[in-house]
Structure 1
Amino acid sequence: MDKNTFTGLFLIMLIMVGSFFLLKPSADEVKKEQQKQHLDSLKRAGLVDAKATKADTSAAAAAKAGVVDSALLKLPFGAATVGTEQLITLENKEVKLKVSTIGGRIYSVELKNYQTFDKKPLILFDGAQSHFGFKFTAGGKPINTDELHFTPTTPQAANGALTMRLSYSPTQYIDYVYTMGPEYKVNLTVKPVGLEAVINNGNTLNLSWSASLHKLEKDIKTERQYSTVYYHNTDGDVDYLSPAKDETKEIAADAKKVDWISFKQHFFSSVLFSKAGFAKTNFATTTDVNGTDIKQMRTDVSINADATGTYPLQFYFGPNRFSTLKAQGDDLEKQIDLGWGPLKYINRFAVLPVFNFLQQFNWNYGIIILVLTLLLKLVLSPLTYKSYLSMAKMRVLKPEMDEIKAKVGEDNPTLLQQEYLKLYRKAGVNPLGGCLPLLLQMPIVIAFFRFFPSLFELRGQSFLWMHDLSTYDTILTFPALPLLGWTHISAMCLLMTISTLIYTYFNNQVSGATGQMKYIGYISPLIFFGVLNSYPAGLNYYYFLANMMTFLQQYLIRQMVDDKKIHSQIQENKKKPEDAKKKKSGFGARMEEMMRQQQQANQTKKK
């Protein structure tokens, strides 16, 4: 470095250091900015309006400094605007809560018997990004309890109960009474005392509840895909916001009331119940959160007091295990996504009961999936046999079909299909016989596609090299690939794809597929690899087992099915006289008639 360069850099450094000290705000400027920020927070809380006077600003500054100003005390609940936050612990065997004196709200929720994917304490939400407050008007001023200071009536929670008090005067106050219920339930009773002449909303309070839900699982993309707001109305209907996009929804005051609202994550939920029901309900979800959270969820509701003038509420903080949610009542288990239409009923009334039965043996979940797959294959084995037999018949007929093709030519596909149908009818072969059994099996295969990703029981369960059957296993990681976005290769998904390609090869040998149909079968497994690479290892393990058992089934069936016997039977069928009535009925006859008409239309066009 030469002398001029050194001198230049030294001067630049002096200018930067000098600018830092010369432009640094004075203590008075810092104090004024703090006063302004606190005034803004009071405006947002509804404690002062947008036309705040200088006296109001001074009062806010005094509150910020911890001094109770006389102007501030004149505001409704003015004394509750100052104080120091305290966190009070309330817990039972399953749930540990921290209740804040600011807002008297639940500051954090920890499920004591569960951990995150990386073995940290499982905290559903915590911190200043979560809110719970009632909004009403008092003394002509809008009030939001979420930013006011409550006082615990006892220094520590006793016997699983805690009362937080928001004081208006010594004889006028609002109590939040928390009591720990069984397992995952927490009761909250809101009791206004002596405030009839102060609160101008009558027996109706507006409640705003929001939570920024933490990332708990390995794959944040999948966790967001299964996380959204669910709600249940008093007629027993369950609905939800779209998990795929940010969404808001409003239910008018004159519509059906909502009796529970759930901030549902993939495997855990935070649910708020009201026996009286919520009216005029708003819901919202957004992914505009920090990198450690999955979504911000919010609801604004109106709630009426009961006959005693109180507002009884209840929380559920716990796992999305089907049996656990069902035990809570109120159709809470309906927020578990078991698929749409018939898939839901297959999973709910067939797959789930069998799975629960196998759980009783206390086997590893990898063994349970193995047995479940075996039982399914046994149930579907008659359809598999019929499908194989039909494909074997088509394979035996292929030489004769090739002769017809050579005789008719490929220039007249309609006539060619007519001749094929004649051959099928004479031979007593149904060309769709190999497809129909497979189509009947498809709803069950797709049902498993929805069953395993929603199955809480697989969470954290290991088998072989798979550390968690509820998420993907990783054999290779790398930077995100352009367009595809892949960052890993799942070992079980790779095995499943390889086994599917092998199955396709042998299936083509059985069916005698040629041309484009022969190669289409190889493309589908590659597409599914791209889709299932980030799906649970348990799901890919099931598909892999299904392929292996299909290989075994086809081997056994092949020992039972003799192509020579099938060929002899076909020849015997061809010798039998055709029944005129039978020939004119059925799907084959209709297809032949349609093709005949198409052939005539083509000939007419040529003329």
Structure 2
Amino acid sequence: MSNDSSRLIAFIILSGIILFAYNLLFPVKPKQIQQTSEEKTAVTATQTLKSTPESLKITPLNKETKISNPEEKFYEIENDLVKIKFSTIGAVIKSYELKKYSDSKEENKKTNLELIPNKTSNTYMALYSQEFNINNDEWNYAGTEKNNENTKIIFKYNKIKGIEIIKEFILSNNSYLINLNIAFNNKTKNPVLLKDMQLSWGPNIHFLPADVNKYKDSFYQYNKICYPLKNNSIKQYQINLNAKQDKIVFIDILPDWVVLKDLYFMASFIFKNKNDIKNVFYKESAAGFTYLTANLKDIVLEPMSSDTIKIDSYIGPQEYKRLKKFKMEEIINLGWFRFLGVWMFYAMDFLFKITKNYGWAIILLTLIVRLILWIPSQHSYKQMKDTQSKMKIINPRMETLKKIYKDDPQKLNEEMLKLYKEYKINPLGGCLPMLLQLPIFIALYQTLISMVELKGASFIWWLKDLSRPDPLYILPVFMGVTMIIQQKMSQTTTMSTGSMAQQNILMYGMPVFLTIMAFSWPSGLLLYWGMSNVLAIAQQIIVNKTK
């Protein structure tokens, strides 16, 4: 096989590493699933509780009244980033809107992005009790308090005789963090035991299973569960959209936090005091629903005393700088070369502050990366040019060798290697610089896929969202055409007819294949890839003009 053909095949293999080693490129296409009725599973998953000390005389609790059809009322709090709607039924979140983000494709119809996918459910930040149906009963709205630092909304439940339960949601200003305080007040003269209680979020975040097919982006990731291990690494579990049966999984440690996330958005429980919880589990439903639940501690309340469970919750976009404050930044997938991906993120953030536009920031970052890679690329192009020149010289001798040893392939290869050695030709000499560039390419590639900051970021008139595919397919075609030009510029004309046909198949086949694949890729990624190709072509032209 000719020198150029070997080098081209090596390059294609390296490209394949980039394109196919990532499971993000080929996620399982979810089947459309009909939404089922609300899952009533959170309470049924409690583990066996420790028995109450015999010396403690506990007064049985009784509910004072039963309401078959409680009246539902709604109350809202908000800051510059979010608007949250609460229901008096269960004192739960019914709507969680992100003001900086939108799922709408039309500029004039943009609405806040909703993170609560099932608004008919009373299961988001729900407090469950096996003894009392407090989550489906009416709570009293006790007011909203606002100051310079946060906004607090308060709900009270007084239908358990002698016991008052208070849920306080505190939303910090300019933040996606909610502080949840659950207070239990014993107003009786006897000790009481509160047990079998849970705090739950679900089903899902952002999308339900039936909505996933509407989000036509091959990089979209369905729900994952993430939590930190003792060695500071992150455990991730991919929820199966097409699970055949329900599955409840208890996390085998008491984590500092646990997250339910998709590609861009997340909900979490952050445990201030691990003594407030017994364990954490998640449910993977056969219908594709996911619930995240914390089993709360048993509470023994002395007469006329109280106790409070405090759990924080970050609900919002996976913005790197915000998550870093909670040591949760590693849930963002920055690929194999994470340390480079972090630098790419900070570079992108810096360039955005200068340009005020992520499209221009991507172009500038592409230029900077190409400048960093200029020397290894220059070496690669020069070696390729030198190899092509030598191949023209030895081509007649190669054809002669092929005729002489047409029936002895092993001998032909030996003679070819001698010929290469004589003229100091290294068939793979230009590949090493390309290999050195791979970590930077992969890091930038993965960063652009994972950056929620690109969600809703517009560039030029037809690109309204750099996280979504190009609606006019201009960028995929642009990427494919520039790839073909690159291949054409490196093609040698001194090859045999068979080798030339093989090279033409590779030269046109790979760009066409990638172009078709790229129809569903984020436009921000394609903007980088296309501009990188243009700059590589310019560099190759400069090299070809030098003597």
- Whether the TM-score (by the shorter chain) exceeds 0.5 is yes
Give 1:557 shift. 0.7
Question: What's the CA shift for 1:153?
Answer: 2.6
For residues 41 and 375 of structure 2, the distance between their equivalents in structure 1, rounded to whole angstroms, comes to 68
The TM-score, its normalising length taken from structure 1, stands at 0.68
CA distance in 2 between partners of 1:460 and 1:218 (Å)? 19
Q: Equivalent residue for 2:377?
A: 384
Q: For residue 491 of structure 1, what is the aligned residue in structure 2?
A: 474
**Aligned counterparts of 1:218 and 1:249: Cα–Cα separation in 2:** 23
Identity of aligned residues (%): 24
Look up the SS of the partner of 1:441 in the other structure.
helix
The alignment status of 1:348 with 2:342, answered yes or no, reads yes
Given that 2:247 and 2:285 are in contact with CA atoms closer than 8 Å, whether structure 1 keeps it comes out as no
Can you list the C-alpha shifts for 1:512-537, whole angstroms capped at 9, x where unaligned?
A: 67342342122111221122211111
Counterpart of 1:325 in structure 2: which amino acid?
Answer: L
Residue 426 of structure 1 aligns with an amino acid whose one-letter code is E
**Is residue 124 from structure 1 mapped to residue 107 from structure 2 by the alignment?**
no
Matched, 1:311 2:297: no
1:85-100 equivalence runs, <5 A? 85-100=72-87
1:334 maps onto 2:326 in alignment: no
1:395–1:510 Cα contact (<8 Å) kept:
no
Please give the alpha-carbon distance, in whole angstroms, between the structure 2 residues aligned to 1:525 and 1:77.
72
Find the aligned partners of 2:409 and 2:153 in 1 and give their Cα distance: 81
Matched, 1:229 2:224: yes
Shift in alpha-carbon separation, 1:190–1:109, aligned structure 2, 3 A: same
Q: What does 1:187-586 align with in structure 2 at a 5 Å threshold?
A: 187-194=179-186, 198-199=192-193, 201=195, 205-214=197-206, 220-222=215-217, 225-233=220-228, 235=230, 236-242=232-238, 245-246=241-242, 252=250, 255-277=252-274, 278-285=277-284, 288=287, 296-304=289-297, 309-327=307-325, 329=326, 331-339=327-335, 341-342=336-337, 344-349=338-343, 351-398=344-391, 399-407=393-401, 408-464=404-460, 465-475=462-472, 490-509=473-492, 514-560=500-546, 562=547
Deviation at 1:549, TM superposition (A): 0.8
Summarize the Cα distance change of 1:217–1:244 in structure 2 as closer, same or farther, 3 Å threshold: closer
Q: What RMSD, in angstroms, separates the aligned Cα atoms of the two structures?
A: 3.3
Contact 1:234 1:257 in 2 (8 A): no
Q: Which runs of 5+ in 2 are unaligned?
A: 1-36, 45-60, 301-305
Structure 1 pair 284–150 and aligned structure 2 pair: CA distance change class (3 A)? same
Cα deviations across residues 86-129 of structure 1 (Å, max 9, x unaligned)? 11222233222222111111222122343332402322116223
Q: How big is each residue's C-alpha offset from its partner over 1:188-246, in whole Å with a ceiling of 9 and x where there is no partner?
A: 11112228855452xx6333321354459996143883242333236333222226645
2:142 is the alignment partner of 1:153: yes
Q: Distance in 1 between matches of 2:42 and 2:466?
A: 46
Equivalent residues of 1:176, 1:189 under 8 A apart: yes
Q: Distance in 2 between matches of 1:424 and 1:117?
A: 59
Q: Which runs of 5 or more structure 1 residues have no equivalent in the other structure? A: 1-39, 48-73, 289-294, 476-489, 563-607
Q: Alignment partner of 2:354: what SS? A: coil
**TM (normalized to structure 2)?**
0.75
Q: 1:402 to 1:352 in 2, by over 3 A?
A: farther
How many Å separate the matches in 1 of 2:43 and 2:294? 18
Could you say which residue in structure 1 is the equivalent of 2:167? 176
Q: Would you say the 8 A contact 2:193–2:299 is kept in 1?
A: no
Q: 1:23-71 CA deviation, whole Å, 9 max, x = no partner?
A: xxxxxxxxxxxxxxxxx99x99989xxxxxxxxxxxxxxxxxxxxxxxx
User: Partner of 1:178: helix, strand, or coil?
Assistant: strand
| Whole-Å separation in 2 of the counterparts to 1:274 and 1:223 | 34
Tell me the distance in 2 between the aligned counterparts of 1:233 and 1:81.
42
Residue 323 (structure 1) shift: 1.7
Q: Aligned to 2:72, what secondary structure does the other structure show? A: coil
How many angstroms apart in 1 are the aligned matches of 2:525 and 2:180? 40
Query: Distance in 1 between the 2:314 and 2:43 partners?
Result: 30
Is the 8 Å Cα contact of residues 224 and 243 (structure 1) preserved in structure 2?
no
**1:114 maps to which of 84, 98, 101:** 101
Q: Could you tell which deviates more after superposition, 219-228 or 315-324?
A: 219-228
Q: 3-state SS of the aligned residue for 1:526? A: helix
Paired with 2:501 and 2:240, the residues of 1 have a C-alpha distance of 39
Q: Is the 8 A contact 2:74 2:86 kept in 1?
A: yes
Three-state SS of the structure 2 residue aligned to 1:298 is strand
- CA deviation map 1:443-470 (0-9, x unaligned): 3323333221212222222222322211
Give the match for residue 7 of structure 2.
Answer: none
CA distance in 2, matches of 1:536, 1:384: 26
1:558: Cα distance to partner?
1.1
**Would the alpha carbon gap of residues 241 and 252 (structure 1) be closer, same or farther in structure 2, given more than 3 Å must change?**
closer
Counterpart contact for 2:199–2:293, Cα < 8 Å: yes
Q: Deviations over 1:280-300 (max 9, x none)?
A: 332245694xxxxxx743113
What is the CA deviation profile of residues 540-574 of structure 1, one whole-angstrom value per residue up to 9, with x for unaligned ones? Answer: 111111111111101111122x3xxxxxxxxxxxx
Maintained 8 Å contact 1:386/1:434 = yes
Question: Cα distance 1:368–1:323, how it changes in 2: closer, same or farther (>3 A)?
Answer: same
- Native 8 Å contact 1:81 1:147 kept in 2: no
Instruction: Provide the aligned length of Structure 1 versus Structure 2.
Output: 462
State the distance in 2 between where 1:511 and 1:548 align.
26
**Cα distance 1:499–1:80, how it changes in 2: closer, same or farther (>3 A)?**
same
Q: 465-474 or 490-499, which moves further after superposition?
A: 465-474
Which structure has the larger Rg? 1
Change (3 A) 1:437 1:271: same
Greater fraction of residues in helix: 1
| Contact 1:166/1:173 (8 A) holds in 2 | yes
